[in-house]
Amino acid sequence: MPYNLCPRHKRLYPLGNGCPLCAAQGAPRKYRSKNTRTAGRYDAQWQRLRAEAIRAQPYCSFCGSAEDLTGDHIIPLSKGGTNEASNVRVLCRSCNSRRGNR
């Protein structure tokens, strides 16, 4: 009977069946999406707030560019920031990426 090797558990299992250890433990964790529409903190409220900020200020706060604008948290969510209008500014994607989590 032919066998497959489970890359996660490094054990053999019969061809045609899935790894019994993987099935017992559930599906392996997937990487979290970086898509703002699916990430838990960036909900519909954030999408509306970001769109309103871009409508109100259609240029980058750092370089003045009007291309590829994004909403940016002044104080990042990971450092205790919130999804409020006072914590949002408009940056182009280049300036936002350069800024990172600072």
Judged by DSSP in three states, 24 sits in helix
Structure tokens at 95: 């300036």
DSSP letter string over 45-59?
Answer: HHHHHHHHHHHH--S
% the chain with pLDDT above 90: 30
For the chain, domain boundaries: 44-99
Instruction: List all residues 6 or more positions away from 51 whose beta carbon is below 8 Å from its beta carbon.
Output: 71
Structure tokens at 58: 């259609």
- Tell me: the pLDDT tens digits for 34-67? 555 445 667 788 889 999 999 999 999 999 999 9
Q: Which residue, among 58, 33, 39, 48, has the nearest Cα to 83 in the 3D structure?
A: 48
Taking the domain 44-99, which CATH number applies? 1.10.30.50
Structure tokens at 46: 């954030």
